[in-house]
Amino acid sequence: MRRRRDRTPGSHREQGFTLLELLIGLALVALVIGVVGALLVTGARAARNTNSFLQTQAQVRAGLDNMVEEVRWAQDVTAAAAQSVTLFVPQSTPFSANSPYTVTFAYNATDDTITRQEDPDAGGPQPPGSPTPIAYLVVDPGGGAGLSMEYFDNTGASLTSTPADPNLVARVRIFITTTKDGFSRTFAGDAALRGR
């Protein structure tokens, strides 16, 4: 014989969810999953942008370090402008064991790069090599040149960014700005020429 359940008020009865309660619960779960998913996507995008910008900064910093190191071994500045410099590097340095050479660092506005061009025999019969990019995404936040240089004489007096006589240059200060995805960073380097 089957037992009947008591349906009187105050008695123990079976309880469940109504369809409306179930739909509200599912909607809340979907909302929470949507918010968490959006946070994960935003976090992943921010991490990707940060990593990309850090890589951009690293390659610009490496280019600046190369420029500063070569300026330190240079003996003379043969041409100087706000966005380019040509240096004479003598023989018997870490960069030129066999013969002196000239090197030009310049801003390339077409590609937003800094290039290095070497003349292996310092104006001799051999032609200069091709300009080689050493830093990319060199651009200021406004879209202008991301490279600027300032020159100083041996007393520390500024010769501005376009010295009238490059032979007076004893120190070069270099500023490189990189901009990517709305983020900018400026790096600075300063080097005195060898024997000045």
Amino acid at 54: L
**DSSP code per residue over 59-96:** HHHHHHHHHHHHHHH-SEEEEEETTEEEEEE-SSSSS-
Q: In this structure, what is the dihedral angle of CA atoms 18, 24, 25, 31, given to the nearest 10 degrees?
A: 170
Q: What is the tens place of the pLDDT at every residue in 73-117? A: 999 999 999 999 999 999 888 877 678 999 999 999 999 999 999
Q: How many other CB atoms sit within 10 Å of the CB of residue 74?
A: 26
- Cα dihedral 16, 17, 18, 19 sign: negative
pLDDT tier at 189, thresholds 50, 70, 90: very high
Of the candidates 176, 186, 196, the one whose C-alpha atom is nearest the C-alpha of residue 66 is: 176
* Sequence-separated (6 or more) residues with CB below 8 Å from residue 38: none
How far is it, in rounded angstroms, from Cα 17 to Cα 161?
Answer: 78
63, amino acid identity: G
pLDDT of residue 149: 96
So where are the chain's domains?
A: 41-192
Weakest mean pLDDT among 62-66, 124-128, 153-157: 124-128
> What does each C-alpha distance from 31 to 18, 22, 40, 84 come to in angstroms?
20, 14, 14, 57
Model confidence over 8-54: pLDDT tens digits?
Answer: 555 555 677 788 888 999 999 999 999 998 888 888 887 877 777 78
Reported as a single tens digit per residue, the pLDDT across 128-147 is 899 999 999 999 988 899 99
